[in-house]
Structure 1
Amino acid sequence: MRADAVVGETRELRLVEGLSRTQIVQYAGASGDFNPLHHDEMFVRETAGMPGIFAHGMLTMGMTGRILTDWFGAESILEYGARFAAQVWPGDTLTATATVDDVRAGADATELDLTVTTVNQRSEVVLTGSAKVRLDSDRSGNRWE
């Protein structure tokens, strides 16, 4: 990211095409979150009244975070928060968009405020969020340029 970033600058990233049940269960194993809503089809249908299992919100948030780390590098992220707006189902394709909302240039670094949104293949918003990024003045090059 250049130190002369402008308000309104945007990046888009396809996060996953056709999220699989296996990916959801792998996340359960990695996170230790074995809530049956995310892996037990019978429980979800009979007890929770849902049509089927769905992804962990934190899986969606983690995948969405890639747009920030790919653009700026993990070391630049100061803050990242999100709100889960809708369930993510097996088979969903997710695309994230990050937009620069504010740029504060200082002598040693530039700080950016960003808005992050993730949508599914039907353009339904499944996650909204925000991030703050710090770019040191000696940092060169945009990872996506």
Structure 2
Amino acid sequence: MSTLADAGEGDALEPRTVTITRADLVRYAGASGDLNPIHWNERTALAADLPGVIAHGMFTMALAARYVADLAGDPTAVVSFSTRFTRPVVVPDDDEGASVELGGKVTAVADDGTRTVALTATHGGKGVLGKAVAVVRPA
């Protein structure tokens, strides 16, 4: 399927893998104002009992929202997005970064063409977003 508009109830969305690097975290920290060192400093993250530097939860959520907006073909088509943060994305200090696998399924299509989409986001085979749902109006 080329766009979300082609998807019917029960259809799986084309999966996408995104990579998060430490450079992405620094850029996001600057843009968002969230300068917490657990998102860029290994020593601080480990002292906070984290497994390493972690991506901002809101950054991970933004990647999932962009995924759905791209499939919709229009970022303004996403009228709502909600999720819970279930597990951190640990971002190593290397050239490869961390991979997050995004996917989803259309769970409902309203009479006006608005689609409800249940999204998945996994890292290392484990979910990092829970109860992620987007509502997308037709373009």
Scaled by the length of structure 2, what TM-score is found? 0.84
User: How do 1:13-92 and structure 2 match up within 5 A?
Assistant: 13-16=16-19, 19-46=20-47, 48-72=48-72, 73-90=74-91, 91-92=97-98
Report the CA distance between 1:2 and its aligned residue.
6.9
**1:50 counterpart SS class:** coil
1:118 aligns with 2:121: yes
Decide whether the 8 Å contact of 1:15 with 1:93 is kept in 2: yes
Match of residue 131 from structure 1 = 134
Distance 1:8 1:51, change over 3 A: same
Q: Distance in 1 between matches of 2:78 and 2:104?
A: 13
Amino acid across the alignment from 1:68: V
Amino acid across the alignment from 1:58: M
User: How do 1:94-105 and structure 2 match up within 5 A?
Assistant: 94-105=100-111
Decide whether the 8 Å contact of 2:78 with 2:136 is kept in 1: yes
Decide whether the 8 Å contact of 1:15 with 1:64 is kept in 2: no
Decide whether the 8 Å contact of 2:81 with 2:134 is kept in 1: yes
Scaled by the length of structure 1, what TM-score is found? 0.81
For the pair shown, the structure with the greater C-alpha radius of gyration is 1
Report the CA distance between 1:98 and its aligned residue.
1.7
Report the CA distance between 1:51 and its aligned residue.
3.0
Match of residue 99 from structure 2 = 93
Match of residue 94 from structure 2 = none
Show structure 1 runs of 4+ deviating over 6 A. none
Decide whether the 8 Å contact of 1:67 with 1:98 is kept in 2: no
Structure 2 unaligned residues grouped into runs of 5+: 92-96
